Structure 1
Amino acid sequence: MSSPDPQLISSRENPLLKELRRLAQDSTAYRKQQRVWIEGDHLCRAALARGVRPALAVFAESAWPQARTEWATAAAKTVLVADALFAGISGLESPATMAFAIDLPAAPALDPLAASVILDRVQDAGNVGAILRSAGAFGFRQVIALKGTAALWSPKVLRAGMGAHFGLRLLESLEPAALDALAVPILVTSSHHGEFLHQAGLPWPCAWALGHEGQGVGDEVGSRASLAVRIAQPGGEESLNVSCAAAICLHASATSHA
């Protein structure tokens, strides 16, 4: 079935354009609009590969003649935006020429038995996205973001996640008490206490808790942990970036039970 010709937006005052600009540039606008902005060929393809049906496809006007053949039926509705206006929507230094607006997925229930990652006030969007990538790569399918953590579906976290969002069970803005529903042990890292990670017997499945960039895991989460481990650092640095620590710990868990 052929799709109708896409609408062209050429006015800066267009109401839809204003909504899209907020969605692309405001980290929490998705909560109000119940839609998520994903920009660029890679993220859009990642969404489609996971069965996501975009509510809206947005293309720079000059890109459409070449994109039409592949993308004409990708979304329920397609709009074209004059090139200069598309650049004004984008939150990227080098704007892409296409984006999707997808419906915000319904918040899932917490799965007590799932291998999980707990984010305790991790505030940097790049760190959060990178941790989501590691979670997906190493078989941790549930991510529990406690209050104070960067918004999981914000454009910056989505870009850093590189498509990992679409294969994960994502829960956000939870209180630490919600962790009591987990039936898997919670593991934390420490700079100075606990067994060394490479010597520890790691349970599987488990839930790794990663904390605030400066303060680490808070007491409410730490008190619920079954095991604290240290990452050996022969080079002598005081600590690791939280996303680097996450990748090391999640990989250790994934390979320990393989």
Structure 2
Amino acid sequence: MNEPLLITARDNPLLQRIRKIATDAGGYRKAGQVWLEGDHLIGAALNRDLVLDELLFSESAWNERADWRAWVSRARRVVCVPDALFKTLSGLESPARVGALWAVPAAPAIDTAAASVVLDRLQDAGNVGSILRSAAAFGVRQVLAVKGTAALWSPKVLRAGMGAHFGLHLIEGLSPDDLSVLDVPLLATSSHGGLLLGEATLPIPCAWVLGHEGQGVDAALMGRCAHTVRIPQPGGEESLNVAAAAAVCFFAATVGPKRQ
């Protein structure tokens, strides 16, 4: 097994590029790459048979974790950096000791018949990542993000998604008009009216529309929805967190009353 390339200069161009991607939510758009920090994200990517552009180890990780060395054949280049230098690449309080650069795939065309989730200007990266994770778990394979939604491939969304990105079709920067091509009905979540989840017959497949955390679904987009759907809340709370609501809706679509 070939030894990795050793980089010790803080201002090395590769390390500078990683810092930019790791600290700028939209940095991947210009770079065309995402920074996968930590063994979980890298392992999730490799489980999907993806090829990494750059695989980076801290010196201690390279020397201590022989199992990680099996990954080197899945990367175009392998790099090792001193531990103190590796920490400068991290946006985490407790930095990982391994990371990778991977080329962001080109956005696919909208699959007009696919079970989907529409993200309408969701701002919180943690919410967005959690929704992607739930979508992947419950078979909602297409994510359509309207302009103003947190960047889908940003470091925070990637971490919250826990590897879900690699099994989803992700399309961002859409307008409500772009959704007119969908052949599946749009269902908007609502806290106060509409079909009662768990009792109503749902059109399956569908596209779940999740709105801005404070403002809800945009009026123009709401006008495209076939139904609103509410989640019963016998505890009396006004509403659920949008990520929690998404998980409930995705699950209900797999087990509740539905139309084939």
Indicate whether the TM-score tops 0.5. yes
Are residue 66 (structure 1) and residue 64 (structure 2) matched? yes
| Aligned-pair CA distance for 1:180 | 0.1
Deviations 1:17-46 (A, max 9, x none): 111111111111100010011111111010
| Aligned-pair CA distance for 1:66 | 3.0
Are residue 36 (structure 1) and residue 62 (structure 2) matched? no
Are residue 202 (structure 1) and residue 202 (structure 2) matched? yes
Q: Secondary structure at the match of 1:55?
A: strand
Deviations 1:181-226 (A, max 9, x none): 0000000111111121122111111000001011111112110000
Task: Determine the C-alpha separation between the residues in 2 that align with 1:192 and 1:88.
Answer: 47
Are residue 139 (structure 1) and residue 139 (structure 2) matched? yes
Q: Secondary structure at the match of 1:46?
A: helix
| Aligned-pair CA distance for 1:238 | 1.0
> Residue in 2 aligned with 1:148?
148
Q: Unaligned 5+ residue runs, structure 2?
A: none
Question: CA-atom RMSD, angstroms?
Answer: 1.3
| Aligned-pair CA distance for 1:233 | 0.9
Are residue 226 (structure 1) and residue 215 (structure 2) matched? no
Task: Determine the C-alpha separation between the residues in 1 that align with 2:60 and 2:213.
Answer: 42
Deviations 1:95-121 (A, max 9, x none): 111011001101100000000000000
> Residue in 1 aligned with 2:46?
48
> Residue in 2 aligned with 1:98?
98
Moved over 6 A (4+): none
**In structure 2, which of residues 10, 25, 35 is the aligned counterpart of residue 27 of structure 1?**
25
- State the one-letter code of the partner of 1:160: A
Trace 1:104-119 onto structure 2 (pairs within 5 A): 104-119=104-119
Number of residue pairs aligned between Structure 1 and Structure 2: 256
Deviations 1:41-61 (A, max 9, x none): 111010001111001101111
| Aligned-pair CA distance for 1:156 | 0.6
Q: Unaligned 5+ residue runs, structure 1?
A: none
Task: Determine the C-alpha separation between the residues in 2 that align with 1:123 and 1:24.
Answer: 19
